[in-house]
Amino acid sequence: MSVLIQNGLVPVAEGYETTSIHLEGDRIVAISPDLQTADVCIDATDKLILPGFVNAHTHSPQIWQRGLIRPLPLELWLADVFDAASSSNLDELYWGAVSTAVETLLSGGTCIMDHVLLPWNQELEAAATVAQAYRDVGIRAFIAPLMMDEPFLAGLPRGRSRTSQPYPRSTADILALMESIIQQVHHPSTGIQVAVGPTGFHRCSDALLQGYAELSDRYNLCRHLHLLETQAQKLLAQEKYGESAVHHLQQLGFLDHRTTLAHAVWLDDRDLEILANAQSTVVHNPLSNLRLGSGIAPILKCRKAGVNVAFGCDGAASNDAQDLLEALKLGTILHTLTEPDYRHWLTPRQTVQMAALGGAKGVNLADQIGTLEVGKKADLVMYDLTNLSLLPRTDPIRSLILGRPTHVVEAVWVDGTQVVAKNQPLKIDRQTLHHHLLTHRQQGQQVQFQTIHQVEPHYRSLLPDFVQLDP
């Protein structure tokens, strides 16, 4: 079926132009103001059309912890998240993924990287459930099962000596499990891919990271992990490796053009050089970085050093919203604090490019998505410029990124299929989704936060070490 999106506004080098976009199957086959007919014609007058963004880091099961976790730094926050963790209910996992996907679509995203914690001993079935959720919504998705092979305290500076318990699953078993998930769930032609997703160096052995790199090579998978999110992790890298975590990951062969690194707040100049040479991507999650007090990621330095940058929402336990446009706004204006030379500040157009093409590069799909171009996949978003939050008509991209756009996503296509119309998902019933979220579990009052008591004294003993660090 062919679709003609007529008379929409698209950005060009200088300003905007009004044009039409012809979709055939999963592709953009023509872009021109002169196009006339197709099987379906859609009037895009007063609409802005942009390539879909990539939500390059989130954790969909955390939808169930939205509004639940207290304001705490990451290491203590994790203890609360552990206590509030979703049960092994696959239904909850499914609706968490559906909800995250719908919120991503309705804030300009067409692709998601889900660093998903799967229920213990149900990982295969659970990964298939998450994949099904994304297929049902119609979003492009990367499922990166979040795994580790070291215990919780080992992830803290001076924590190793305080834990004698080994992780309850061997590295070899984790790699074998991961390979089963890949064989069952990884179907690139359907828009659903598996990525390797070790939680981060702080709780992974070298053997696990190297095993994951080998799996990634064997199956051509993206690699995704948290990196240097907090000062504690920076201290831990020195203690664990005697060197920078980035250099260590490079030595292990983990960094390449398919690697996306969530947060990367505590990088130094040499780290930036290594990441640029490896063509790896930093995923900027400004909202969770502030919610957890992690710091401000050196995004302007990344760009200056030639490191690709994408944007993520992070999970709803550390960013209770899942609104990409909100992440883009904060991620644009935040860096005025760290850079007095205003000539280096991010422009809204640069932000759009980072969220779309930067995200596409991160997931190794830059030749397929990320720009509006003939021959590329039809992953695009149409914004309603008559919406009150985008009025009056000045510069649409500036209004979209710097404003507070509300219900502005009029329509979305993923892989040539329309999945949103009139600001509503087409393939999932919104009322059913709301019903599940409302009734499935009203657990807020029941959580007893206990684990934090095991961690807090140790964490407090580390606080004096943090203030010396740069940046």
Binding region for Zn ion (CB under 5 A): 314
- State in angstroms the smallest separation of the CB of 283 from Zn ion: 9
Could you tell me the end-to-end alpha-carbon distance of the chain, in angstroms, rounded to an integer? 53
Closer by beta carbon to Zn ion, 310 or else 428: 310
Of 114 and 314, CB closest to Zn ion: 314
Gap between the Cα atoms of 354 and 394, Å rounded: 22
Minimum distance from residue 313 beta carbon to Zn ion (Å): 10
Please state, in angstroms and rounded to a whole number, the distance separating the CA atoms of residues 416 and 92: 29
Which CB, 10 or 227, lies closer to Zn ion? 227
415-443 burial code (b ≥16 CB/10 A, e <16): bbbbbbeebebbbbeeeebeebbeeebee
CA distances from 48 to 31, 321, 394, 440 (A): 14, 24, 12, 37
Instruction: Outline where DSSP puts E strands in 366-470.
Output: 380-384, 409-414, 417-421, 424-425
Half-sphere CA count of 330, side-chain side, radius 13 A: 19
The Cα-based distances of 113 to 57, 110, 262 in angstroms read 5, 11, 11
What DSSP state is assigned to residue 189?
G
Q: How far is the CB of 262 from Zn ion (least distance, A)?
A: 5
- For residue 20, the minimal CB distance to Zn ion (Å) is 40
Least distance from C-beta 127 to Zn ion, angstroms? 18
Cis status of the peptide bond prior to 392, with omega within 30 of 0: yes
User: Closer to Zn ion at the Cβ: 115 or 377?
Assistant: 115
Rounded (5°) CA angle 37-43-44: 120
Residue nearest to Zn ion (CB): 314
Q: Which is nearer to Zn ion, 48 or 317 (CB)?
A: 317
Interior/surface letters 231-250, b for 16+ CB within 10 angstroms, e for the rest: bbbbbbbeebeeebbbebbb
Smallest gap from Cβ 146 to Zn ion, in A, equals 8
Q: At its nearest, how many Å lie between Zn ion and the CB of residue 363?
A: 16
Phi, psi of 46 (to 5 degrees): 65, 25
Compare residues 230 and 417 and give the one whose CB is closer to Zn ion. Answer: 230
Residue 31: strand pairing partners? 21
Q: 403 — phi, psi (to 5°)?
A: -90, -160
Closer Cβ to Zn ion, 309 or 382, answer by number: 309
Q: Is 311 or 383 the residue whose CB approaches Zn ion more closely?
A: 311
Of 62, 68, 66, 80, which Cα lies nearest the Cα of 459?
80
| Cβ proximity to Zn ion, 362 vs 396, nearer residue | 362
